[in-house]
Structure 1
Amino acid sequence: MAVHIGEVRQNTPAAIDIKGLSKEYTTARGTVKAMAPMDLSIKAGEFICVVGTSGCGKSTLLRLVAGFEKATTGSIAVDTEEVLGPSPSRGVVFQDYGLFPWLTVRENVAWGPKQAHLKTSLVKERCDKYIGAVGLELFADRYPHELSGGMQQRVSIARVLANEPSVMLMDEPFGALDALTRRGMQEQLSHLHRDIKTTVIFITHSIEEAVLLADRVVVMTGGAAKNVPGHIREIVTIDLPENRDVNSEHFNDLERSISRLVNTEEEDSSHGVDADASAEVQAGETNAEDEHKPVAVPRV
């Protein structure tokens, strides 16, 4: 589905600089090193996908960047400003749409700008632009229960965009959708990103989805199940054109290379973790990252 945003403008996309970032949890059995210290630099306007097996720290990384949790060590800077807590400049889209059921599409999208005490005319302008950006002009006065799952997720994306964030954080937003709807949402998100150039960190279990959307793919590994703290194994540059063919040889070469990184053991697993203590964290991390199994995207 093509998206036409016209003169919609965002805040300037932000660069993200992560240095020495780690996360530990304290349980009844001791301290668990959930995520080993990591460094990651993301350019302004870049689309980054993070892949890896359940429990490797993908969602933990996203929650730290969002400011929902505090790091044990290290720092996160968004355009040189340190992340100390949540901010509307870092919008988050979850797998659960999280819409207010008693509000219409327009009222849901208007919620953030209204909370920021913007002028009524500006709130209306943003609603019109971003509802149009996700192709829901004809459904602006409908309630969430009157929409399909894919349409509800479009509303949740428009609601984040209406705050005009510099960074958009997406935690498996299409994981609960059927395969055809998921493909349509992927295409729409790709078009949106080309137009608005917001910096995106997108968590997914689907390697094909990552190759389809990303400028670079961050491959994470480790986790409680492997008795190794989650960490970045490799960062893969996706040197493909904007319009990508999932059947092309190069696309499939990249997909296979990333799959090998995700599914094969590292030769050097030097990040030890206490196995007994890690059992308590593993269940929580799995629930956060793997509530829904990934949906395979059909090749067309």
Structure 2
Amino acid sequence: MSVSDLSCLTRHTDGGRVLVDDLGKRYGGAAGVDAVAGVSLDIAPGEFVAVVGASGCGKSTLLRILAGFEAPTSGTVEVGGRPVTRPGPDRGVVFQDYGLFPWLTVAENVRFGLRQRGTPRRRAGQIADAFIEVVGLTRFADRFPGELSGGMQQRVAIARVLANDPAVLLMDEPFGALDALTRTQMQHELRRLYREAGTTVVFVTHSIEEAVYLADRVVVMTGGAAKGVPGHITEVFPVLLGDDRDVNAADFNALERAISERVHAG
């Protein structure tokens, strides 16, 4: 199996809908701080939604609640028509920290979830090899995480999540540690993978250019505890630029500017 043969992926057509209704999260009880409030979002199966906004506006809080790592204080969250109450295999998560097992090799880290789910050893190895190739680490398959750079470790984390074929992929600045060339390559591969698999993607990033390049819609969040206003969705921008996007094109730059102005308007 190679990167050109992704038959290991499931075509997710129903389980990837994400529905957030009037979500709120308060830290510290009644006298605490509202991190987010009144957040509602309906994401269709197979849709790629990027979430942008200044630090502290609640982007990562929203993602952690979608992942099931935190419970909302108010409102509801559903994935595939089921309430989110805990982490589950229908949601794969890539956060900024790598979360790799230091005692396992690259290949063993990528195979780990597959083996836990009962995938036969040979099949798990084939799938892992394919995604290790996707992230450009075939030559390092037998290395341990401590022998890799931070950017390479993040690529292993991405490969591990993709190999488990989730219906929803939740990503929090996953390419932030990568060099510019590798980041561009990973953006291209992510677009291809999610389109082939029909995976729903919720992608948090500080890069508006990255959001416009990747997403079907860009969600702008503003507010946050530092501003004394709960984080909330201010505007949602559809990205109507087709599949072959040119970051230097006039329409691309016009949309990027419009989103940037909305982010900075607060």
**Both proteins in one fold, TM over 0.5:** yes
Residue 18 (structure 1) aligned with residue 20 (structure 2): yes
Matches within 5 A, 1:7-86: 7-10=7-10, 12=12, 14-26=16-28, 30-86=31-87
CA RMSD of aligned residues (A): 1.9
Distance 1:96 1:191, change over 3 A: same
SS in 1 for 2:32: strand
Distance 1:171 1:38, change over 3 A: same
Matches within 5 A, 1:174-253: 174-253=175-254
Query: 2: distance between equivalents of 1:242 and 1:3?
Result: 19
What does residue 145 of structure 2 align with?
144
SS in 2 for 1:220: strand
What does residue 107 of structure 1 align with?
108
Deviation sequence 1:97-128 (CA, Å, 0-9, x none): 22222211110011112222333233223223
Deviates more, 1:31-40 or 1:197-206: 31-40
**Share of identical aligned residues, percent?**
57
Query: 1: distance between equivalents of 2:199 and 2:135?
Result: 15
What does residue 264 of structure 2 align with?
263
Query: 2: distance between equivalents of 1:177 and 1:118?
Result: 31
- Structure 1 residues without counterparts, runs of 5 or longer: 266-300
What does residue 166 of structure 2 align with?
165
What does residue 124 of structure 2 align with?
123
Look at both structures and tell me which one has the larger radius of gyration over its CA atoms: 1
Q: Report how far residue 11 of structure 1 moved.
A: 5.9
Distance 1:201 1:252, change over 3 A: same
Q: Is the 8 A contact 2:51 2:203 kept in 1?
A: yes
Q: Is the 8 A contact 1:89 1:163 kept in 2?
A: no
Q: Report how far residue 220 of structure 1 moved.
A: 0.3
Q: Report how far residue 133 of structure 1 moved.
A: 3.2
Q: Report how far residue 141 of structure 1 moved.
A: 1.8
Distance 1:4 1:198, change over 3 A: same
Which amino acid in structure 1 is aligned with residue 111 of structure 2?
Answer: A
Deviates more, 1:232-241 or 1:29-38: 29-38
Query: 2: distance between equivalents of 1:117 and 1:182?
Result: 32
Deviation sequence 1:239-292 (CA, Å, 0-9, x none): 112121111000000000000110014xxxxxxxxxxxxxxxxxxxxxxxxxxx
What does residue 293 of structure 1 align with?
none
What does residue 98 of structure 2 align with?
97
Q: TM-score, normalised by structure 1?
A: 0.82
Q: TM-score, normalised by structure 2?
A: 0.92
Query: 2: distance between equivalents of 1:146 and 1:192?
Result: 27
SS in 2 for 1:168: strand
Deviation sequence 1:155-199 (CA, Å, 0-9, x none): 111111222211110011112223333223222222222322211
Query: 1: distance between equivalents of 2:20 and 2:139?
Result: 41
Query: 2: distance between equivalents of 1:94 and 1:199?
Result: 16
Query: 2: distance between equivalents of 1:10 and 1:65?
Result: 21
Which amino acid in structure 2 is aligned with residue 86 of structure 1?
Answer: P
Query: 2: distance between equivalents of 1:166 and 1:124?
Result: 21
Q: Report how far residue 31 of structure 1 moved.
A: 2.2
Q: Is the 8 A contact 2:12 2:197 kept in 1?
A: no
Query: 1: distance between equivalents of 2:216 and 2:82?
Result: 24
Which amino acid in structure 2 is aligned with residue 176 of structure 1?
Answer: A
Query: 1: distance between equivalents of 2:3 and 2:129?
Result: 14
Which amino acid in structure 1 is aligned with residue 98 of structure 2?
Answer: Y
Which amino acid in structure 2 is aligned with residue 101 of structure 1?
Answer: P
Query: 2: distance between equivalents of 1:213 and 1:75?
Result: 27
Q: Is the 8 A contact 2:49 2:219 kept in 1?
A: yes
Q: Is the 8 A contact 1:11 1:165 kept in 2?
A: no
Which amino acid in structure 2 is aligned with residue 174 of structure 1?
Answer: F
Work out the number of aligned pairs and report it. 263
